Amino acid sequence: MTDAKILSGKDTAQAVYHDLNNRIISLADKNIRPGLCVVLIGDDPASQIYVRTKTKKLRSLGLLSESILLPSNVKEKKVIKIINDLNNDSKYHGILVQFPLPDHITTQNIINSIKPEKDVDGFHPENVGWLSIGKPRFIPCTPKGIMRILDHYNIDLNGKNIVVIGRSNIVGRPISILTSLNSQGANGTCTICHSRTKNIEKFTINADVIITAIGRPNYLKGDMIKSGVVLIDVGINRVNSDNEKGYVIVGDVDWDSVIDKVSLITPVPGGVGPMTIAMLVENTIEAAEKFG
């Protein structure tokens, strides 16, 4: 493995934060301090880590970042009441509800209750609609981060065959739209594959770029790809290990079997993950610029 093959999300994120500094200063000159409130329900350890990481990064940039922690048995009506209060609180330009939610709370009801102008996750149906016609208000953070990594490393998708593995509303569907838009850096031909796709190798073996977001550790093997492919690995999977932690984090890509065939690849960790947080920061700043 050589560093020349690595698409570093950490390096790309640092470039993003550097570029955001002037925008933060410009907002400060107008007495606007971008603010984000995160609502966390329950005590899922991974969600708690994500929230702490997001909060730390926003505060390090001088932005307002606060969290509301709710018990896992909280009623849906109470969550919606809290979100409505945040919708009407001018110091928060962005509202983020950390997923997944407890089973008794309907995710779509929570998403729908967030004011579209404060939906920095880009999940509200109104914002999904704007994205689908190529005029996005807020782009979901992980797909936006993927596109920014490609741009940072001058990877032009024009005319490329792109396969997205996974069809979630968080990653798979929005990245399929972004990669195929008639816009600079995009213009690819995108195919969505998923758990019900038959003979998925027929699609992946002909792909110039593969974006995996299927949530299966080491799923994509070397014999499923062609030489020179670009791999974007969105997977974050815990696999049992005999180390001190008792687990290791791996992606959806079987690193050892693909590394000699790929031209470029995002590592896990250190690839798409840091960019998701960077794009959340950028979306919060964009919300302050547009609606602050």
pLDDT along the chain (292 residues), means of 10: 82 98 97 98 88 94 97 98 98 96 97 98 98 96 98 98 97 98 96 96 98 96 98 93 89 96 97 97 98 88
Domain assignment present for 215? yes
Annotation says 121 is catalytic: yes
Q: Which residues, 6+ apart, have CB-to-CB distance to 239 below 8 Å?
A: 217, 247, 248, 249, 250
Q: Which residues, 6+ apart, have CB-to-CB distance to 280 below 8 Å?
A: 36, 54, 94, 96, 120, 121, 141
- Do residues 96 and 169 share a domain? no
pLDDT for the residue 268: 96
pLDDT for the residue 45: 83
Annotation says 85 is catalytic: no
Selecting among 119, 121, 208, 252, the annotated active-site residue is 121
- Number of domains composing the chain: 2
Q: Which residues, 6+ apart, have CB-to-CB distance to 99 below 8 Å?
A: 47, 107, 170
Structure tokens at 286: 């964009």
- Do residues 96 and 164 share a domain? no
- Do residues 163 and 252 share a domain? yes
Selecting among 54, 57, 118, 144, the annotated active-site residue is 54
- Do residues 167 and 62 share a domain? no
Domain assignment present for 121? no
pLDDT for the residue 157: 98
Selecting among 57, 98, 208, 252, the annotated active-site residue is 98
Q: Supply the CATH number for residue 146's domain.
A: 3.40.50.720
pLDDT for the residue 4: 65
pLDDT for the residue 70: 98
Domain assignment present for 1? no
Does residue 123 sit in helix, strand or coil? Answer: coil
- Do residues 161 and 94 share a domain? no
| Residue entry with tokens 């579209």 | 116
pLDDT for the residue 86: 98
pLDDT for the residue 2: 57
**DSSP E strand stretches across the chain:** 35-41, 64-70, 94-97, 161-165, 189-193, 209-212, 230-233, 237-240, 247-250, 264-265
> What pTM was estimated for this model as a whole?
0.96
Residue 149 domain boundaries: 141-273
